[in-house]
Amino acid sequence: MKLNCDLGESYGAWTMGQDDQVMPLIDMANIACGFHAGDPVTMRNAVSLAAKNGVQIGAHPSYQDLVGFGRRSIAHSPDEVTALMLYQLGALEGICRAEGVELSYVKPHGALNNDMMKDPALLETVMQAVICYRSDLALMIPATSKYREHRALAERVGLPLILEAFADRAYDDAGQLVPRSQPGAVHHAPEVIVQQALSFANQGGLRSISGQWLELPAESLCVHGDNAAALEAVRAIRQAFAERSQ
């Protein structure tokens, strides 16, 4: 079970996250591409830091929404979605080439990610955009109760797929993340986060917020390290995984 984290989300004089402390603890870095966060210098710093720590680099594209941090849905045509994806992937891969590393995968951010998981047509548009850019890139999407359908779609279009789970988010009975606006949607206690991480790693799923068992097989676990408590949780997960493999 590989750990991934959203990084490179500072912008100009505004700093977000603790990239330098998180990077040594993870396997995969989802780097913002300038539309919801990140700027050229921030992107290059994040890529360089990932390279130094041997961390896989993924593009983290979004709707063009700096003010809303990419968390607001924006209506786009399929051609527009494809173009905004290509623009952001090209920007990050250019920096990767300059740093002598490779872009390995794509993980859509925020509202774009949420919208595509609710709309099969949008999901296929995103998949086709990734293939259009580079057919060997993998797409990372959340593992939901429809993971079999998503795997079948990815296989049909010829796209490598990575299913992702979240250690610090509650799930509803449909296998979707509980909206942040609802109580209990985000876990903060490290022991709860570690327990959920181990449930995914050992049992291939977890209990929903109502107690229902959800089969959600995942290859990668998303963790957040944008504050001291979250960073503590990432360290605890890494330690728990290390003990599990002994």
* String of DSSP letters for 158-170: T--EEEEEESSB-
Helices (H), the chain: 19-22, 40-52, 78-98, 110-118, 120-133, 147-157, 190-203, 228-244
pLDDT tens readout for residues 153-212: 999 999 999 999 999 999 999 898 998 889 999 998 889 999 999 999 999 999 999 999
Q: Is the pLDDT of residue 245 over 80?
A: no
Q: What percent of the chain has pLDDT over 70?
A: 100
Average pLDDT over the chain, rounded to an integer: 94
| Residues 6 or more apart in contact with residue 122 via CB below 8 angstroms | 81, 115, 116
- Tell me the pLDDT band of 228, cut-offs 50, 70 and 90: confident
pLDDT at 231: 87
- Tell me the pLDDT band of 226, cut-offs 50, 70 and 90: confident
Is residue 136 within 8 Å of residue 107, measured between CB atoms? no
pLDDT at 225: 75
pLDDT tens readout for residues 18-35: 899 999 999 999 999 999
- Tell me the pLDDT band of 105, cut-offs 50, 70 and 90: very high
C-alpha span between 1 and 16 (Å, rounded) = 26
Chain-centroid distance of CA 27 in Å reads 12
- Residue 182: how many CB atoms within 10 A of its CB? 11
Q: What percent of the chain has pLDDT over 90?
A: 86
| Residues 6 or more apart in contact with residue 203 via CB below 8 angstroms | none
Q: pTM, whole model, 2 decimals?
A: 0.94
Backbone angles phi, psi at 225, to 5 degrees: -135, 40
pLDDT at 28: 98
pLDDT tens readout for residues 74-86: 999 999 999 999 9
Domains of the chain and CATH, by start: 2-166+217-224 (3.20.20.370)
pLDDT at 47: 98
Map tokens 């606006």 to a residue.
181
pLDDT tens readout for residues 125-139: 999 999 999 999 999
Mean pLDDT within 35-63: 98
